[in-house]
Structure 1
Amino acid sequence: MSLRVLIAVTHLLGAGHLTRAAALARAFARKGHTATLVSGGSPARLTDLENVTFVQLPPVRTVGTDFKTLLGDDLAPVDEAYLERRRVLLLDTLKTARPDLLITELFPFGRRVLADEFSTLLDAARRMSPRPLVLSSIRDILVASSKASRLAETHERVLRDYDAVLVHGDPELAPLEASWPLDERIRPLIRYTGYVDENDDSVPVNRRHGIVVSGGSSAASLPLYRAALAAAQDFADRPWRILVGRGVADTEFLALQESAPAHVTVERARPDFRALLSGAEVSVSQAGYNTVVDLLRCGVPSVLVPFEAGSETEQRLRAERLAARGLAEIVPEAALSPRRLADAIRRGLARPSSPTPAIALDGAMRTVAIAESLVSSSPALHRTIDWSSLDRALDQARERGIPVRFWWRDDDAVADTPQLDRLLGLARRYDAGIGLAVIPEGIEASLAKRLAEEPKVFALVHGWSHADHAPAGEKKAEFGPHRALDRMATEAERALHVAREHLGSRLLPVFVPPWNRISRDLVPGLTDLGFRGLSTFTDRKNAQPAPGLVQVNTHVDPIDWHGTRSLADPALIVAALAGAVERRVAGVADPEEPIGFLTHHLVHDDVIWALCERLIARLAVRGIGFLCPDACFGLETRSQLRSNGD
């Protein structure tokens, strides 16, 4: 599979955003994809882009922390005509590249000042046929607006225009919600890639000696350089190297050089920075994204002076995450002084060496793998799902005071498998209950052990062996009308006994016939066999089809069983959900019966998993969860007594 990939980025202060976007473009190109990188920030030196088409828009930049005023290269504010030239070139590039995959760096989580430009790009992409997959590419830590309306606007934009959000970080170090208040509807779209390392060369093993001071590419590091020069007076027995970013004016750079003592070398940033860093006893730097990746790679003791001007919080949060793991000392920018910096360096020198933490640093290649998987999984995933009919139905039910409840049944479990682990992990994230229909003949010991850890998951009896006994040409059934009644009763009773032996209190006496088909003659005798519940598919006709037997069915299945065996058309799935709600509102279906969502974890592909999570998250935002199955069948007391050993 060869993809056409377009990455749009505009860096306004330092070059970190461009550096990360370029690393992604290189990674796509190395895997044989056609990559185009569009940069709207100031021109910067980029290496190894021979196989990447690079397009430079008329550049814009900002000065200091004023991110609302866009300036040209002459530092004069740009006008609308200038911005229009950027938009025209951007759209021409989109038309020429015809991407299968469009990635916007930071937007819509940032770059509000360029919202019109990005909106124009997204609108044009939406009109393309076929529409490209659209991803947002963001760093590990964001700066969230204090205005709820702006956060909501961002989330709505993501839901409307984006298929996934690539978070270039590791949740073990910095989960996105640590800096951004996630709307639960967005969570299913999040894909952590690990940190993107622009330098994929191996880290040399050097004898550690001396101090290395580095800053970002902008002039924001000048206070750090000046404090470092003064602090270096206390460490004349060690060589120092201060690497100055190219965004610092030559006059300032020369002034730093002239004030440096003999044991301190002041020079411009170098391409062999990582080799220098690996040989340092201590690194002194800000806490920018790329710098921290270098520090994690090299495992060098660090002193971090995070950039915090203009109420910036990104670098401080990242520094605190590293400090909490014992990987860094922090000197707040507001408290920066030669003495404070020297004290922190002494603590860094005294810190014993520690192994490099297990943080994912292969973000570029994992980004490519995620994108390839999303593109290949199913065209259905690449279209924004229209949930409006379900939303309207739920709104109507609320207005009429009709409570709508959901429950979740998943069929065919026999053992603790990676697929089951994914299912239960998804349920746990949303505090959802699951009725797990298990096949008694195949139950393995690992299943009981796993269910013992899941208080909201109960097993149901899924036939005996899930064997098809229907005559040729008829629909599959294990407990259909073509078999002898006494034989089916014996198997059903055996199934309950065996399942209970294996699963104990985690089993509910609920019969789930394979393929949701059961002989009407068998139903009245289920209570005599020990069952208290029955579950098939479609709206139930009778809440109690036999004395002592409660029926709760399922109503929506997301799998296209008779076609691709992947995800059914999302429009049909949403229509089925909306229809189930509407029938309860209209009184056509029993409003007391929870709407059942039916899944089959062993055969899910990524696109089915994605749909499941989007649905669960969307209902969660409305305060609608998935009931525990013991509550659905009125078996709470009995199951609780069993779990207490009574």
Structure 2
Amino acid sequence: MNDFKVMIVVTHLLGVGHLTRMAAVGRAMAARGWKVTLVSGGRPAATVALDGVDLVQLPPVHCVGTDFSTLYAATDVRADAAWFAMRRAALLAAFDAAAPDALITELYPFGRRSLAAEFDALLEHALARPDRPAILCSIRDVLNPPSRPERVAATLARLGACYDAVLFHGAAEMVPLAASWPEAGKLDYRLRETGYVHDGERAFADDGNTGRDEIVVSGGGSAAGLPLARTAIEAARLMPARQWRLLVGHGVPEEVFAALGAQAPANMRVERARPDFPALLARAAASVSQSGYNTVLDLAAANARAILVPFAEGGEKEQTIRAEELTRRGLARHLPAADLTAETLAGALGELLERPAPDWSGIGREGAARAADIVAEEIARRRAIEAGWVRLDLLMARARAAGRIIDFWWRDDDATDPTPALDALLARRERWQVPLALAVIPSRATPALAERLAGETGIDVLAHGWAHANHAPAGVKKAEFGPHRSTEAMLAEAQAGHQRLAELFGPRALPVFVPPWNRIDPALAGRHSEAGYRLLSTYQRRPAHALPGLVAVNAHLDPIDWHGGGGLVDETVLLDRLGRLVEEELDAPPGTLEPIGLLTHHLVHDGWIDRFLDGLIGRLLGSGAARFRSLAEFLPTQEGRR
């Protein structure tokens, strides 16, 4: 059994649902013998089970209502800079003490923006550790949709810069992440679906008839459920033949709780929330509740008839989205808070009680165990990646000891116009001060692109085909300059491309041809010098034979997983490939192999790809045995050099 160490960081601000879910995940890991540290930044919650888990309590914060940006250290006492500084110091100290193999931040960076400073400090601290942990974000099935596009961009940027994967505690076939997060597709290859995490430790014992055939009303652990509680009291008066039970959260002040009890009719019992809530649901005739994550899972476990009245104050949409999705699947009845009256609630219950109980079995609730499996996989993957970097370091050290300098070059494809993605690429090149060969699509290149590059140094322009149009027959690999067209027509387009780039970019345009999809008819390649080209660049090691009038300098390392739908190729695969390329170079006589080519496509980069590139270029340059060269240096004549 692996003896992993895991640190989970969670701050619940209103109810205790976030803490309950992460405690269940932590217990599942602790049950495997792992050392689990759960750092809680919300108020202490005595009802949450933490068997086998080490709890670190930060100076707590909470919010009032739905104002998640204003945080309180105590009732009516705002948390100030000193309070947050204590939290941050305690958080970093907990990390150092835990020395985790995996770090899990619950919700951040999708939410908890008011706590961004402490989360970012923790992430920076973790990433700086030589044996840095796998870093994961944990989210429930439904998020509160971001109010502004820039928040989506900021979240994706933070994930790409710091995180290895996202634990999705839901099921796409039940409620897909796309239902609540507008850029869910960009996370597909980093999303790890665990299924739903149910607190299976909660009591389900049957003590007899307590709650049998009752209508059980619950509103969560905080005062957010009070409007539902008060309406339920009035609805109970309209259904005197039914026995009701109202459960009030422990976060509701005692005087308010007492007032609810005094207002309730004789057919309603008012109690504080009970640990055997799932057992009550299993015996109840129907449930009336909000549609929080944990409540829905209790309903699923009990196979309960349910009316869901989602919490929707302050623009909150999470519970509404979940209620709508469950209603669409026939598992519950959605009654919006705006439509909630004693009459509508009583009417909905009357209809619901006439129906058979729904089948909730499609909602699997073993997410805690599956989350532990995934965390173990991510720890192993992180260790394999780190081993790959170590191997690269050793190979470069071998080169340095032998007095060898390994040559690299960098090609980026598909430029046509100035874009934010191009700006990011150019900024990366400027930061590392390495040459860049930009493969531009001639027919689509704009004067604006030429103007954007005019003030740049270290940039060469290459002809990327003519229009990047696929002319291959159906079922055949894509090609613009393949054996499916007239050689003369293709030669004319290639020549036109060379001329257009020369007109737009002047001496920056090199006589270099980069066929789209890296495919070219050999017959055409043999005549490319007729169109003015002196160098051909495709992908993989160049052929041993020379082409008439041309040299071949290819790219060899493409970090994009084209066959897997995009995103970053498994880093262990990339590092193994690069290691083999460096070994080949070291085993060959100096100067006999072409430089190792890095191939990128700026228009489809994400944060994970960019992070890999920065790590790779920085590591190579820091080795003292690598240099990046301009492609112009490899032309057979000097005519293309600036």
Same fold, TM-score > 0.5, yes or no:
yes
SS at match of 1:358: coil
Asked if the contact 1:184–1:618 (Cα under 8 Å) also holds between the matched residues in 2, the reply is no
Partner of 2:464: 403
Cα offset for 1:575? 9.7
Q: For structure 1, which runs of at least 5 residues remain unmatched after alignment? A: 408-431, 436-454, 460-534, 546-552, 559-563, 577-587, 598-610, 620-646
Separation in structure 1 between the aligned mates of residue 44 and residue 95 of structure 2, nearest angstrom: 20
1:538 paired residue among 536, 541, 549: 541
2:85 matched to 1:121? Answer: no
Q: Indicate the percent of aligned positions where both proteins have the same amino acid.
A: 43
- Selected match of 1:242 from 240, 246, 255: 246
Cα offset, 1:108, TM superposition: 0.4
Structure 1 match to 2:16: 15
What secondary structure does 1:368 align onto? Answer: helix
1:153 aligns with 2:154: yes
Indicate the residue corresponding to 1:99 in structure 2.
100
1:331-387 residue CA offsets vs partner (Å, 9 max, x unmatched): 1112211011111111211222232231221111100000101112352446999xx
Give, in whole Å, the separation in 2 of the partners of 1:541 and 1:596. Answer: 25
| Residues 62, 73 of structure 2: 8 Å contact kept | yes
> How far apart, in 2, do the equivalents of 1:76 and 1:372 lie?
41
Q: CA deviation at 1:75?
A: 2.3
CA contact (8 A) 1:213 1:283 kept: yes
1:572 to 578, 582, 585: 578
What is aligned with 2:565?
none
Sort the Cα spacing of 1:106 and 1:169 in 2 relative to 1 into closer, same or farther, 3 A: same
User: Is the 1:9–1:40 Cα contact (8 Å) retained in structure 2?
Assistant: yes
Any idea what SS the aligned residue of 1:166 has?
strand
CA distance in 1, matches of 2:370, 2:199: 13
Q: Normalization by structure 2: what TM-score?
A: 0.64
Whichever residue aligns with residue 569 of structure 1, its letter is L
Structure 2: how far apart are the matches of 1:372 and 1:275?
33
Structure 2 vs 1, CA of residues 48 and 353 (structure 1 numbering), >3 Å: closer, same or farther? closer
Give 1:578-617 correspondences, 5 Å limit: none
**Equivalent residues of 2:178, 2:184 under 8 A apart:** no
| Residue identity in the other structure for 1:567 | V
Alignment of 1:211-230 (within 5 A): 211-230=215-234
The 3 A distance-change label for structure 1 pair 368 and 114 is: same
Aligned equivalents of 2:437, 2:465: Cα separation in 1: 10
1:121-520 maps to which residues of 2 (within 5 A)? 121-182=122-183, 184-200=185-201, 209-377=213-381, 379-381=383-385, 391=425, 396-398=438-440, 400=461, 402-403=463-464
Partner Cα separation in structure 1 for residue 439 and residue 88 of structure 2: 45
Q: Secondary structure at the match of 1:567?
A: helix
Kindly state the Cα deviation for residue 239 of structure 1 after the two structures are TM-superposed: 1.4
Q: Distance in 1 between matches of 2:245 and 2:348?
A: 17
Q: Is the 8 A contact 1:389 1:575 kept in 2?
A: no
Paired residues in the alignment total: 464
> For residues 458 and 389 of structure 1, what CA distance do their matches in structure 2 show?
22
The alpha carbon displacement at 1:394 in A equals: 8.4
Determine if contact 1:138/1:166 at 8 Å carries over to the other structure.
Answer: yes
* 1:93 Cα offset (Å): 0.6
1:541 deviates by 7.4
User: Structure 2: how far apart are the matches of 1:327 and 1:536?
Assistant: 53
Amino acid at match of 1:243: L
Specify the SS of the correspondent of 1:62. Answer: strand
Per the alignment, residue 639 of structure 1 pairs with none
Distance across 1 between alignment mates of 2:87 and 2:150: 28
Give the secondary-structure state (helix, strand or coil) at the position aligned to 1:247: coil
Are residues 570 and 237 of structure 1, via their aligned partners in 2, closer, same or farther at CA, if it must alter by over 3 Å?
A: farther
Which residue number corresponds to residue 53 of structure 1?
Answer: 54
**CA gap 1:613/1:112 in 2 versus in 1, 3 angstroms:** closer
CA distance in 1, matches of 2:368, 2:285: 29
Quick one: distance in 2 between partners of 1:27 and 1:78? 33
Cα distance in 2 between the residues matched to 1:3 and 1:568:
26
Task: Report the Cα distance in structure 2 between the residues aligned to 1:31 and 1:9, rounded to whole angstroms.
Answer: 21
Q: Residue 199 of structure 1: CA displacement?
A: 2.2
Please list the CA deviations of residues 572-598 of structure 1 after superposition, one character each: whole Å capped at 9, or x if unmatched. Answer: 38999xxxxxxxxxxx99x9xxx899x
Is the 1:306–1:333 contact (alpha carbons within 8 Å) kept by the matching residues of 2? yes
1:29 and 1:51 in contact (8 A); partners too: yes
The 3 A distance-change label for structure 1 pair 343 and 404 is farther
Q: Is the 8 A contact 1:184 1:617 kept in 2?
A: no
Change beyond 3 A, Cα 1:330–1:183: closer
Specify the SS of the correspondent of 2:326. Answer: helix
2:173 and 2:281 mapped to 1: Cα distance? 24
- Following the alignment from structure 1 to structure 2, what is the Cα–Cα distance between the partners of residues 95 and 379? 19
Distance 1:196 1:146 in 2: 27
Native 8 Å contact 2:411 2:438 kept in 1? no
SS, match of residue 439 in structure 2: helix
Provide the aligned C-alpha RMSD in A: 4.3
> Which structure 1 residue ranges, 4+ long, deviate > 6 Å from structure 2?
204-207, 382-385, 455-459, 541-545, 573-576, 611-619
- Whole-Å Cα distance in 1 between the matches of residues 115 and 580 of structure 2? 34
**Aligned-partner residue type, residue 342 of structure 1:** A
Q: Secondary structure at 2:63's aligned position in 1?
A: strand
CA distance in 2, matches of 1:360, 1:315: 19
Taking the aligned partners of 1:612 and 1:251, their CA distance within structure 2 comes to 53
Q: Which residue identity is paired with 2:374?
A: I
The aligned counterpart of 1:65 is: 66
1:30-49 alignment runs, 5 A limit:
30-49=31-50
SS in 2 for 1:355: coil
String of CA shifts for 1:25-57, please: whole Å, max 9, x gaps: 111111110000111111111444242111111
1:313 partner letter: K
2:364, 2:111 → 1: CA distance? 24
Counterpart CA distance in 2 for 1:617 and 1:84 is 29
Residue 129 to residue 182, structure 1, CA distance change in 2 (3 Å): same
Task: Give 1:584's aligned residue.
Answer: none
* 8 Å contact from structure 1 (residues 13, 64) kept in 2: yes
- Inter-CA distance 55–566: structure 2 relative to 1 (3 Å threshold): closer
Matched position secondary structure for 1:321: helix
For 1:57, the aligned partner's letter is: L
- Does the residue aligned with 1:89 lie in a helix, a strand or coil? helix
Classify 1:79/1:617 alpha carbon distance in 2 versus 1 (closer, same or farther; 3 Å): closer
Tell me the alpha carbon deviations over residues 246-305 of structure 1, each in whole angstroms, 9 at most, x when there is no partner.
Answer: 111111111111111112111001111101000111110000010011111111111000
Aligned to 2:508: none
Which SS does the other structure have where 1:261 is aligned?
A: coil
Instruction: Give the match's secondary structure for 1:11.
Output: coil
Cα shift readout 1:49-94 (whole Å, capped 9, x = no counterpart): 2421111111111101111111112321111011111111111111
Q: What secondary structure is seen at the aligned counterpart in 2 of 1:251? A: helix
Are the aligned partners of 1:203 and 1:298 in contact in 2 as well (CA < 8 Å)? no
CA distance in 2, matches of 1:129, 1:140: 33
How much does 1:174 deviate? Answer: 1.2
The answer to whether the aligner puts 1:83 opposite 2:84 as a matched pair is yes
Residue 241 of structure 1: how far off its partner (Å)? 0.9
Q: Distance in 2 between matches of 1:212 and 1:298?
A: 12
